[in-house]
A and B are shown apart, each in its own frame.
Chain A
Amino acid sequence: MITILGGEILSALGTKEQRLKHLLDTTYRVDTKHMTTVLDEDLSFSYYSIDDGERNSALSIPLNYLEEVVQKAIDKLGLDADALSRCGLFVGSASNDLSLSLPLGQNYDNSQVESVPCERIGNGYYADHLTKYFGLNDFSLTYNTACTSSANAVIDAASMLEGGLIDYALIIGFEMFAPISFEGFVAMQLLSPDKIAPFDKHRSGIVLGEAVSALFMSRDDVSPSSWLYRGGTSSCETHSVTGANPDGSGIAEVISAALKDAGINESSIKGVKAHGTSSALNDAAEINGMKKVFTNAPDFFSLKPYIGHTLGSCGASEMLLMLECVDAEFLPGTPNFVNCDDELEWMPLSEKKICKSGHFMLNYFGFGGNNTSIVIEKVVR
């Protein structure tokens, strides 16, 4: 049996005490990001920056955050050097080539090539660094499947643990503020100017955020836990490169497959962490997909109003938040949900609900047709 040991997260919600208070009270903190576009146009959008006190995350090097969050997770779980040497690394991020962006940006007229050091950089740079820094096992992969990146990393980590290639797995989800990515969302007119309100009738789009998370998994013969990974699937819906089929057929398929992989039926699901981006079409596709599988609306909620849409990081980051909520014996409400959308009919939890254990589904959907669904279980021992 694959176990989920827990971990640590840096996000807009701050420390564990702060984030539990926000999640219990259905509150959040969000910043305003001012941007001067390439057309010298001043724009303001809500943005969930990492709440890290004095540091300015936008200017920080991701490695600082990665080392910090992994170290905190190691300390929390009491993992020793031997355990780390048997731990594979699975990094998920939509920020492709962050390590290359800097030299590329510095060389946009191709005149400064000489100043670039001869050093292997590119995708995998962060994984390579973390493997050496923490003395991890040789196995590492970096996943770039847009918003499902670290969710797919979780599924593959479970597979490699089941196959016995590794005894522990460290899953990293990270997403930092990236101007080109931000402007890409602006260009596609996907951002809400003010707030993220998943499944609400007046939802107006996505609010982006940054998060760095470290999640450890293992097997029960190596390291038991009250949290179990029960199953998960990922699929590629070729309807459109930018989103799931609004009729929910692709989402229903991946949810059904995840339930089958977990060996349970839909009535066993105690709560669903929805992807819930607050975009009109994606939220509709998600509800339509759930309706094809669930006879009655399950308790579902979106965590994106708390930390923003953290893109490739949301797989690991939202799983960690969910573990913390259920460990504190509740499912969180969905902030900003006020008005039921008549076309969706189903409504997310708007306030917290007591919940101590059971099976839970976590759904993630991304660009490139990537749909991912994971089933986990909290066992009361």
Chain B
Amino acid sequence: MIYVHNVGSVHREEGEELDVKAAWKMVSPAMIRRTDRFIQLSLLGAYAAIGEKELERETALYMASGQGNLAVFKRLRDQRYIKKQPPKPVDYINSLSNTSGFYVAQFFKIEGKNLNVSRLGFVAETTLLLAQNDLVLNKVEQVLVGGVDELQEPFSFTRKTLGISDERPLGEGSNWMLLSRKKEGSLASLEVLKQAMGLDELKVYLQQIDVTSQLAFGQRCSKEVIEMLLGDKKHFEVSCGFYETASLYLLNTFIESGKGELIFVDNYEDRYRVVKLNC
């Protein structure tokens, strides 16, 4: 079993404004010059979770993203094809995905393992599974897990590359949690089921859960599947525009506001993954 000690989120819906640069400038004006919005969004979310708390130097950092820092790719593309300019070194460096993790590590003065991982679906759940495994095996003492996705225009392009319908509202977020093996002082316990499952297997699993457990669903779960699986269970819902790492937003929201057990089910194509929270 692993435990959640801190959570924090920065989240925005399509149509809302979020001046990330101004917000981060309030925290650390010295870290503005070489960082771009995606990196600042990463920093802001991690700060929402950790604040001024001093982390152990060996703390690991596993950062997940569904689409990565697309804005810097667009800048590099525009520099090359439209402005006919060579890439700016700072943009090239920032295009390397782990640059965000570097700045988060630098801000919190942590020098443990620092990963940047991605996946088409289940990116948050798989990153949590990796963290859970490393914690259980004593490979790391604590892990700062983050999921960051930035809202990108044109929205129609973003929807297409995410494989979602034109009507689906988008969002963005930087959602972080600090995980460790220590139970004392924790906000919740967390367990990621080790294997993905098919729908029939999932139905059998859900029949065995406690009657008081609440159910929550990932953004790729269809309405039909949710209705079928929900039964008479209480549905924990969070309104949220689509982005790949929004699962962490939902989990953080439950930890901050909920009580009891949450069974979170996410879906990608015909497979399902389950995360259990107990607050």
Q: Which residues of A contact B (CB under 8 A)?
A: 37-39, 94, 96-97, 100-101, 103-105, 107-110, 113, 116-125, 127-128, 138-146, 152, 156, 159-160, 162-163, 165, 179-181, 183-184, 186-188, 233-238, 241-242, 250, 366-370
Query: Looking at the complex, which one of B105, B109, B119 makes contact with A141 (CB distance below 8 Å)?
Result: B119
Please report the C-alpha to C-alpha distance between residue A116 and residue B157 in the assembled complex, in whole angstroms. 7
The answer to whether A236 and B99 touch across the interface, beta carbons within 8 angstroms, is no
A254 → B minimal CB distance (Å): 10
Do A124 and B160 have beta carbons less than 8 Å apart? no
Is the pair A120, B157 in contact by a Cβ cutoff of 8 Å? no
Determine if B118 and A187 form an interchain contact, defined as CB atoms under 8 angstroms apart. no
Contact B92 A142 (CB under 8 A): no
Q: Which residue of A lies closest to B161 (CB)?
A: A121
Tell me whether B74 is interfacial, beta carbon within 8 Å: yes
List 13 A-B pairs, Cβ < 8 Å.
A38-B86, A94-B96, A107-B157, A124-B118, A128-B120, A145-B101, A159-B133, A180-B80, A183-B86, A233-B113, A236-B105, A236-B112, A369-B102
Given A124-B120, A188-B89, answer yes or no on A236-B111 (Cβ-Cβ < 8 Å).
yes
> Contact: B161 with A120, CB < 8 Å?
yes
Pairwise interchain contact A152-B67, C-beta atoms closer than 8 A: no
Cβ–Cβ < 8 Å partners of A188 in chain B: 89, 92
Q: B69 — which chain A residues lie within 8 A by C-beta?
A: 96
Find residues 51-106 in chain B having any chain A CB closer than 8 Å to their own CB.
61, 65-70, 73-74, 76-82, 84-89, 92-93, 95-99, 101-103, 105-106
Q: Which of A94, A145, A238, A250 contacts B106 (CB 8 A)?
A: A238
- Give the complex CA separation of A302 and B160 in angstroms: 43
Task: For the complex formed, measure the closest distance between the CB of A43 and the CB atoms of chain B, giving whole angstroms.
Answer: 11
Assembled-state Cα–Cα distance A119/B134 (Å): 33
Q: Are B117 and A108 in contact (CB under 8 A)?
A: no
Please give, as numbers and ranges, the residues of chain A lying within 8 Å of B26 by CB-CB distance: none
Q: Return chain A residues, CB-CB under 8 Å to B114.
A: 145, 234-236, 368-370
Q: Does B151 contact A (CB under 8 A)?
A: no
- Minimum CB–CB distance from A109 to chain B (whole Å) comes to 8
Contact B87 A234, beta carbon cutoff 8 Å: no
A39 to B271, CA, bound (A): 49
A39 to B83 alpha-carbon distance, docked (Å) = 10
Distance in angstroms between the alpha carbons of A311 and B6 in the assembled complex: 35
- Taking the closest CB of chain B, its distance from the CB of A124, in whole angstroms, is 4
Write out the residue numbers on chain A whose beta carbons fall within 8 Å of the beta carbon of B109.
238
Q: Name the contact of B73 in the complex, choosing from A100, A146, A241 (C-beta under 8 A).
A: A100
Write the B29-46 contact mask toward A (1 if CB under 8 angstroms, else 0). 000001000000000000
Question: Which partner residue on chain A sits nearest B118 by CB separation?
Answer: A123
What residue of chain B has the Cβ atom nearest to residue A186's Cβ?
Answer: B86
Indicate whether B159 reaches chain A with its CB closer than 8 angstroms: yes
Q: Are B162 and A105 in contact (CB under 8 A)?
A: no
- Contact surface of B with A, Cβ cutoff 8 Å: 34, 61, 65-70, 73-74, 76-82, 84-89, 92-93, 95-99, 101-103, 105-106, 109-121, 123, 126-127, 129-130, 133-134, 136-137, 139, 154, 156-157, 159-165, 194-196, 271
Which of chain A's residues has its CB closest to B74's CB?
Answer: A104
Contacts of B163 in A (CB 8 A): 118-121
Most buried by A among B88, B113, B127, B159: B113
Residues of B within 8 A of A165 (CB): 129, 133, 194-195
The answer to whether A141 touches B117 (Cβ under 8 A) is yes
Given A104-B73, A187-B89, A367-B93, A96:B82 Cβ within 8 A: no
B154 touches A113 (CB 8 A): yes
In contact, A369 and B105 (Cβ under 8 angstroms): yes
Contact A141 B102 (CB under 8 A): no
- CB-contact partner of A97 in B73, B111, B157, under 8 A: B73
Contact among A39, A108, A119 with B160 in the assembled complex (CB-CB below 8 Å): A119
Bound-state Cα–Cα, A107 to B73, Å: 12
Does B136 contact A142, Cβ atoms closer than 8 Å? no
Residues of B within 8 A of A141 (CB): 117-119, 126-127, 130
**What is the distance, in angstroms, from A121's C-beta to the closest C-beta of chain B?**
5
Nearest B residue to A181, CB-CB: B92
In the assembled complex, the CB of B238 is this many whole angstroms from the nearest CB of chain A, namely: 22
Chain A residue at smallest Cβ distance from B34: A241
Of the listed residues A104, A184, A236, the one surrounded by the most CB atoms of chain B closer than 10 A to its CB is A236
Report which of A109, A119, A123 forms a contact with B119, defined as CB distance below 8 A.
A123
In the assembly, what is the distance between CA of A166 and CA of B231, in Å?
33
Contacts of B119 in A (CB 8 A): 123-124, 127-128, 140-142
For the complex, give the distance between the alpha carbons of A107 and B82 in Å: 11
The answer to whether A125 touches B120, judged by C-beta atoms less than 8 angstroms apart, is: yes
Contact status B111-A238, CB under 8 Å: yes
- In whole angstroms, what is the CA distance A236 to B121 when docked? 27
Please report the C-alpha to C-alpha distance between residue A293 and residue B98 in the assembled complex, in whole angstroms: 27
Shortest C-beta distance, A257 to chain B (Å), equals: 9
Which of A139, A152, A180 sits near B76, CB closer than 8 Å? Answer: A180
A40 and B113 CA atoms in complex are apart in Å by 42
Expressed in whole angstroms, the Cα–Cα distance for A160 and B98 within the complex equals 22
Q: Kindly provide the distance from the CB of B273 to the nearest chain A CB, expressed in whole angstroms.
A: 8
Which residues of chain B come closer than 8 Å to A163, judged between CB atoms?
133, 136-137
- Which residues on the A side are within 8 Å of B86 (C-beta)? 37-39, 183, 186-187
Task: Name 18 extra pairs, CB < 8 A, besides A119-B160, A163-B133.
Answer: A96-B68, A103-B161, A108-B77, A110-B157, A118-B164, A119-B161, A120-B121, A122-B120, A123-B67, A128-B120, A139-B126, A144-B68, A144-B116, A156-B115, A165-B195, A180-B76, A236-B114, A368-B98
Write out the residue numbers on chain A whose beta carbons fall within 8 Å of the beta carbon of B101. Answer: 145, 236, 368
